[in-house]
Structure 1
């Protein structure tokens, strides 16, 4: 191995990058405009095509490093040219699909036989495109050798290493759909996949990954082990995605086929060009419930992660009685909690709108009753608490409730009217003001109050195949904007994988920002950031398509989903406004 001479890598890298950019970018005469930092639709792939320059004869080590980094930004996405900057052995061994590393800025340092490049604001993504973590700094280390008289990179990480701005332009925030351990509801897992022609193929590749470790207690797949994906997913002129997999077709019975197709259709419906899915395994076409092999995108609707047949009505308390309807037209419900004053202060409603769960006025008891059965009894689910927050219900009709307990939080889950305490690391025993549980029952989000600032933490619920809670994954703190107050007024589900957060900017303005529940960076296209004039304290939202999203400040109501709409004030005495769930 030869040793490169000392060099000023920073200057050479900058010069090489400028030269590469000047000669290799093709700008089309038309095409969609893409806003950076915001996830866009699949069809909105940037209209800039970059064919990077391969290594040139006699280039210095710094030029080779700069060329390699630039070549990884090829668009449409390809590593063909980047591989030419590697030695023969390294080019054969390099597997950049194992992970993605993004960075905000690159620095450089001088080196002899190796280049060490500091990176800032580094994000790591796994082979499916699922965000793993953020690091403030990380070094990219590349070893160089001379091969046939030319410098080549011989030591390189198995990763695609690109700027976060490029990643935002060329990767789409989507979800892969798995099942919860009971196989009763689909569970969306957020990932980033390449836009354009690779979109559907990347979705299928990610979907075939088998959950391992703790994730196997959170979500499961019905694709049999050993099922692998070919090179691509062609989409014909009729919009039918043809998914051909290898594997043993005899391992696929009717139940397995139904759930595999549910996973596929829910995942591939995110590609706007797809109208139906056709699946084959080991050369055998798979039909849906014994019918057609061309399966529409509504297959699997019974496993909807937002809850099949979910009520879209608003529910609230008028005084101490449960009412339901639209924001300006709330009417009394017929059940005992709607006709009799039980002195309750907050409520939760089952997804189908058949049952209401209520916290008594002193915060010590949790009651439940049918919503519209006048002669039904009111049952006590939990008693002896200190300060219960509003309850939440999931697709399996479990009730989750937080006892704030004077700054020593306790979490309870009630199944079939029997409540049990769950120890949630990072939540139990802390000063917690709000608890959310996703409708699929696999995610728990809490607002933890600190001395000077509040935090939003998220964890996954680990479950057995019968739905019994086994525990929780380590909590992850979701990133919050630096702007405005450090206190969180409220938090609510905006979609199955995002939450909206309400806080103050100043004494006269409030702000709602939507975050990915996995903690991944970047703004969310749906929800984004909204500023409101006034002091709002409550968010009312549901994780369904096109919900009406409201911010409440006393009786004042602001419609966040349709800002141009004038919404009447709440009637005097109306509180605890909520959707089902």
Structure 2
């Protein structure tokens, strides 16, 4: 026997009674948690759920199925028990994850319909796709999910039709899923960049991490923005096994025939990507059943730390600042002061800088005289990448971005995806992406665009942009916090608000200040500094609020 598309009133009333007077699926339920990982350290939890009970009505069955979707272990084996035999093997829970922004509601458009089925309405606040990419929506979007039922040979109801994917309450998401960075190289092979994905917290996470690593980076890191050492035919077969802290990664394909540098890079990508799992401390790689001799290679940068002290210009000069001291940057500080700088960025090597003054943008090197490289009016504070290219743009023209080499050569970069005027422009410390804050007719926008370079490393364009979801408040400034996180400073009434956005992840509000006109990143969220209108520099305190550092500057400089 089967159930059609709509439920009669009796079924809806039964469901209402089941849900204690409302049609919302509870965020609690017959679930529990246990630790996962071979060491069972309890740091990571996995949800347990009950299967269908004898005599369950379709409404009770659906309720149990939705709750069981929070228990992803063994490929959602408990949730599959709610399905009819034909659907059980076909249902794809990893096709997508709908993260609800409110109650999960069961409804019927036609209470008098002859057929008996149930529809579920979900206000979706975020989505995870089949590759683990997380997308936060600007506004919750309502989705209707239809379920049909049939009775099995024992007369028990089972779900015969269900949408692919799972629905997870927002409050439960981070206990069911975890953020796992996959690491890819920059095109020069000098450093790696995290591409954050979200996978269910199960014992098979290592398999999922490696499979998606082999599949390549997210779309916005394509077109050569990031690189992988793995040949395109490399597959995981049969999987990853973990014993006594060592993960053995079994691969097939042409990986074993690559040169020593490529083999070492493949191992580094695997090692770094699997390092997020607490039960893995080392890795071994096999190809076609034979150990892969990875050898050794040059250490690559994966955590791009900067000086813990803020960099800026105060009445004593330009350098790293505390409330009572200043440490000048050798070969740079004197030049910055002499130019009458009003903004700037220090390169990663500490020996080069891009500086803005009333005359324009300058390239400053410790071993040479400052060079005026952009004299256009209305320029933003410039950025500088790890290869020494100065990035400059006119605030009023979003299509005015230039990368200027050390010899003064100008490389124009079209940005047709931008709308309105630029607020800030910041190249990531790894040199692979640019963060662009804009304001236009449709409101503020925050965009991350991959940098496409030619074989010589010269920037020639941007990859597919990733627009982060931000609120409607006017944006004042934006900055990189680390390789996968950015921050914004926005107007909030008479004050300012700081927010943290994870590329491929969730966003957090970091609180408000009475005033804020500039923001710079540091080492993770605790390193963020905000300059108020009076020059006072503020930092977060241990309680999550903001406190004065005792430093007063005319501007803060970005550290690369």
**Range into which the TM-score falls when normalised by the shorter chain:** 0.7 to 0.9
Which residue does the alignment assign to 2:180?
174
Task: Measure, in 2, the Cα distance between the counterparts of 1:21 and 1:386.
Answer: 56
Which residue does the alignment assign to 2:132?
129
Q: Residue 514 of structure 1 contacts residue 529 of structure 1 at CA under 8 Å; is this kept in 2?
A: yes
* Structure 2 residue 521 is the aligned partner of structure 1 residue 541: yes
Q: Residue 500 of structure 1 contacts residue 512 of structure 1 at CA under 8 Å; is this kept in 2?
A: yes
Q: Deviation at 1:189?
A: 0.9
Which residue does the alignment assign to 2:389?
398
Q: Residue 184 of structure 2 contacts residue 195 of structure 2 at CA under 8 Å; is this kept in 1?
A: yes
Task: Measure, in 2, the Cα distance between the counterparts of 1:327 and 1:199.
Answer: 46
Task: Measure, in 1, the Cα distance between the counterparts of 2:530 and 2:87.
Answer: 55
* Structure 2 residue 500 is the aligned partner of structure 1 residue 514: yes
Q: CA RMSD in A?
A: 3.7
Q: Residue 332 of structure 2 contacts residue 351 of structure 2 at CA under 8 Å; is this kept in 1?
A: no
Partner residue of 2:144 out of 139, 146, 149: 139
Which residue does the alignment assign to 1:158?
164
Task: Measure, in 2, the Cα distance between the counterparts of 1:420 and 1:490.
Answer: 25
Which residue does the alignment assign to 1:44?
43
SS at match of 1:97: helix
Which residue does the alignment assign to 2:422?
432
Which residue does the alignment assign to 1:200?
206
Task: Measure, in 1, the Cα distance between the counterparts of 2:469 and 2:317.
Answer: 38
* Structure 2 residue 451 is the aligned partner of structure 1 residue 461: yes
Which residue does the alignment assign to 1:369?
364
Partner residue of 1:221 out of 222, 228, 237: 228
Which residue does the alignment assign to 1:39?
none
SS at match of 1:197: coil
SS at match of 1:79: helix
Task: Measure, in 1, the Cα distance between the counterparts of 2:243 and 2:16.
Answer: 44
Which residue does the alignment assign to 2:343?
346
Q: Deviation at 1:367?
A: 1.7
Q: Deviation at 1:130?
A: 0.9
Q: Deviation at 1:336?
A: 7.0
Which residue does the alignment assign to 2:302?
304
SS at match of 1:344: coil
Q: Say which is worse superposed, 562-571 or 115-124, in terms of deviation.
A: 562-571
Q: Say which is worse superposed, 345-354 or 409-418, in terms of deviation.
A: 409-418
Task: Measure, in 2, the Cα distance between the counterparts of 1:516 and 1:546.
Answer: 11
Q: Deviation at 1:347?
A: 1.6
Q: Deviation at 1:510?
A: 3.7
Q: Residue 207 of structure 2 contacts residue 240 of structure 2 at CA under 8 Å; is this kept in 1?
A: yes
Distance 1:21 1:331, change over 3 A: closer
Q: Deviation at 1:120?
A: 0.5
Distance 1:10 1:320, change over 3 A: farther
Distance 1:249 1:288, change over 3 A: closer
Q: Residue 174 of structure 1 contacts residue 190 of structure 1 at CA under 8 Å; is this kept in 2?
A: yes
Output one character per residue of 1:55-86: Cα deviation in whole Å (capped at 9) or x when no partner.
535x4433333332222122657511222222
SS at match of 2:271: helix
Total equivalences in the alignment: 536
Distance 1:231 1:161, change over 3 A: farther
Which residue does the alignment assign to 1:422?
413
Task: Measure, in 2, the Cα distance between the counterparts of 1:168 and 1:14.
Answer: 28
Q: Residue 52 of structure 2 contacts residue 61 of structure 2 at CA under 8 Å; is this kept in 1?
A: no
Q: Deviation at 1:305?
A: 6.0
Output one character per residue of 1:326-357: Cα deviation in whole Å (capped at 9) or x when no partner.
56422444537615723332222211111112
* Structure 2 residue 255 is the aligned partner of structure 1 residue 265: no
Output one character per residue of 1:412-464: Cα deviation in whole Å (capped at 9) or x when no partner.
11234322221212426x22211222223333322222469533233333445
Task: Measure, in 1, the Cα distance between the counterparts of 2:410 and 2:230.
Answer: 35
Q: Residue 98 of structure 2 contacts residue 124 of structure 2 at CA under 8 Å; is this kept in 1?
A: no
* Structure 2 residue 88 is the aligned partner of structure 1 residue 91: yes
Output one character per residue of 1:108-154: Cα deviation in whole Å (capped at 9) or x when no partner.
23363653322112432122311146351111123434443554333
Q: Residue 425 of structure 1 contacts residue 474 of structure 1 at CA under 8 Å; is this kept in 2?
A: no
Task: Measure, in 2, the Cα distance between the counterparts of 1:194 and 1:441.
Answer: 31
Distance 1:423 1:345, change over 3 A: same
Q: Residue 320 of structure 1 contacts residue 344 of structure 1 at CA under 8 Å; is this kept in 2?
A: no
Q: Deviation at 1:514?
A: 0.9
Q: Deviation at 1:474?
A: 5.0
Which residue does the alignment assign to 1:529?
510
Partner residue of 1:388 out of 374, 379, 383: 379
Which residue does the alignment assign to 1:478?
468
Distance 1:328 1:541, change over 3 A: farther
Task: Measure, in 1, the Cα distance between the counterparts of 2:313 and 2:499.
Answer: 27
Distance 1:495 1:10, change over 3 A: farther
Which residue does the alignment assign to 2:311?
315
Task: Measure, in 1, the Cα distance between the counterparts of 2:47 and 2:311.
Answer: 51
Q: Say which is worse superposed, 321-330 or 186-195, in terms of deviation.
A: 321-330
Partner residue of 1:120 out of 102, 118, 123: 123
Partner residue of 1:551 out of 530, 534, 540: 530
* Structure 2 residue 412 is the aligned partner of structure 1 residue 445: no
Q: Residue 399 of structure 1 contacts residue 413 of structure 1 at CA under 8 Å; is this kept in 2?
A: yes
Which residue does the alignment assign to 1:296?
none
Q: Residue 184 of structure 2 contacts residue 217 of structure 2 at CA under 8 Å; is this kept in 1?
A: no
SS at match of 2:248: strand
Q: Say which is worse superposed, 453-462 or 430-439, in terms of deviation.
A: 453-462
Q: Residue 219 of structure 2 contacts residue 464 of structure 2 at CA under 8 Å; is this kept in 1?
A: no
Task: Measure, in 2, the Cα distance between the counterparts of 1:329 and 1:199.
Answer: 48
SS at match of 2:106: coil
Distance 1:49 1:323, change over 3 A: closer
* Structure 2, gaps ≥5 residues long: none
* Structure 2 residue 354 is the aligned partner of structure 1 residue 357: yes
